[in-house]
Structure 1
Amino acid sequence: MSAHESEWTLRRLSAGELAAAEAARVRAHTASCTVCGAALRGIEQGQAAFEAAIPFERFEAGVERAVQRQRRGTAFTTPPRRWVATTVAMAASVLVVFLARPLLEGPSPGRNGIKGGAVAELRIGGGPGPQREARKDGPEELVEGERVRLGYQADGHRYVAALSVDAIGDVTPLHPESGESLPVEPGADLHWLPGSWEFTGSGAERVVLVLSDAPVPVESLVDAARRAFLAADGNVEQMAPLDVPGEQTHWMLLKP
């Protein structure tokens, strides 16, 4: 067994993806190991330099022409209630390139592997702290002003949709806001949904992304979310997976 921590472990530590006990152990090791300590500092400095050069807001401003090139001929619909600003997968892919290429083989920290090889990711940014990927092993705390973005690798699934459920059971379709789940972007890369969201109010908010082989009516997704909320006795943190076809990923966010 190697005496040093793997790059994967150090990147998970930097991203806040390790459990408290494991994080404390790795931190203690990096404090006494010059090799691992230097590697961790390099990871943190590289992330800080990237965010200084390409802040979260770059994904939400100054890209209208790219939107038109990528989605030429597609009409934009009225945004959902919690939608913040239009952005594009092309611009978001810059983030993926910079953050994913240094990693070892396997999904990046914070991504949820879905059955069958599909991947989903929820990224948080726009607040006073650094960008980060939402934890998958417990609730992720938000601070005032932070927004979230959703990404996916479809792995053969053909349609995608997303919604959120707050602590009182209010269900908000995020992508799309009506109709049916939309076709996934072509290609095997990580794609980003065209928008970011700032969740209002306080308390818990569950975000759900669904990948399916056939389009699913948004109304059916909303109804399934309401049924799951009621089945959990109104506890959004205890909701079971939605009773809809396809593969789904859930994240729990704690609003300030």
Structure 2
Amino acid sequence: MPIPEDVGVIARPLLRENAYRSIRDAIVDGTLAPGERLNDAELAQWLGVSRTPIREALTRLEESGLVQTKPGRYTIVSPLDTRAARAAQTVTAAMHELAVREAVPHLSSAEIEAMRQANVRFAGALRADEVDAAIAADDEFHNVAVTACANPAVRTVLEQFTPVLRRLERLRFSSLIGRGSVATHDRIIALCEAGDAEGAAAAARDNWLSLSEVFDVDDSDAPRAQ
């Protein structure tokens, strides 16, 4: 498999978590493409770690649906799977709905302003066709409520299922479909500011469910392992 040119980019502390996040992010951003075979030794060389944290990371990624393994034969990046994405979408939408509902009574003016500024960056990134920046700003926007709700179970579930959706969202944010999220974010902010927890929670749920518009992308030609 081709690997990024930067070698040994991972710090020694927290090797397992860093290895997991580095490989996960490379899958989500397309550096490691759907159907691509993953080699333990090459990944270890890229990240500057032993094979043990690599294998542990790949196990976690398989549980998240980003990697497929055939013991003794191959490990590949999972092809884009509409059914898996729909399942992840349902769970993710529910978690964001819960996070916003629990967060609204506790949101400070500073946190609402942080949401507003994140949406400004999000809109600017979309206008500039900067997909990575758009996704980062979108994460910042939604993370305000996830943090404010102080529910660790919500964050744990989102950590597992959001990356599956982010692969599809890269398609969304590089198209005009993503522009609609800016207005939805503004609506969520207004409802949060008004203290309407149920209305804001419903808007947050609908925001994530709107990703269905990209689920009709044909993935029939995605490469598969032999």
Q: TM-score if structure 2 supplies the norm length? A: 0.32
Structure with more of its chain in strand, by fraction: 1
Structure with more of its chain in helix, by fraction: 2
Greater RCO structure (CA 8 Å; 6+ sep): 2
